[in-house]
Amino acid sequence: MSRDNLAQVAGHTRFGFLKHAAGQVVVSEDEPCTQLFFLLSGTLQAETRSDDHAYKVTEQLSAPYLLQLEAIFGYNQRFTHTFTTLTECSFITLEKTEVTRLSEEFMVFRMNILNLMATQAQKLLRQAWHRFPASLGERIVRFLSQRCIYPAGPKTFHILMTRLADEVGDSRLDVSRALNQLQRDGLLLLHRGRIEIPQMERLLM
């Protein structure tokens, strides 16, 4: 945007400014999305649950980060993750009416929103065309990775072995063997009802 555009936006746009201490919930799953949250500084934990709430994944997201742009428009205008601060965090917020107005007035703002949403859609549509996993270990890795917001950093899955076996279409015993092999390879850590992944990018390699 030009300097004049930026000055116009700053002078005529109602921005909100928030600061949260560590351990505070910013937004919760199923809460209506009526504004955008721009994380300027700090680190968040994102928690995502399955539809039946039988398992969940938690992951860390650091600034700069925009919380669920896709939730402010479309069929389901609600957050699908719960975001909690891990450190002190600062946010800029922008109400939906302001997002709509800026999109109408500034082509660059509108194109940025369209590009972000188009990229998300393209990645999701392309998943069905990826090579089918050749082994049970690869099927487990795909199951885990497809349920993450960001394909890197630490993740924690809270899931029972029997449920994971159902999800990947194999026996509990074989799933246990595959997970233990991944643990021996130093790619994850197993606990009762919990799988810790120190670096998701290493598991995906």
Which domain CATH number covers 168? 1.10.10.10
43 shares its domain with 92: yes
9 shares its domain with 77: yes
Contacts of 27 (CB under 8 A, 6+ apart): 33, 37, 67, 79, 82, 83
pLDDT one-digit tens code per residue, 140-169:
999 999 999 999 999 999 999 999 999 999
- For residue 64, what are its two tokens? 């700069």
pLDDT of residue 108: 84
- Spell out, as residue ranges, where the chain has pLDDT lower than 50: none
Residues constituting the chain: 205
User: Please, what's the largest Cα pairwise distance for the chain?
Assistant: 64
CATH of the domain at 19: 2.60.120.10
121 shares its domain with 67: yes
pTM above 0.85, yes or no: yes
State the residue range of the domain holding 200: 136-204
Q: How many domains does the chain have?
A: 2
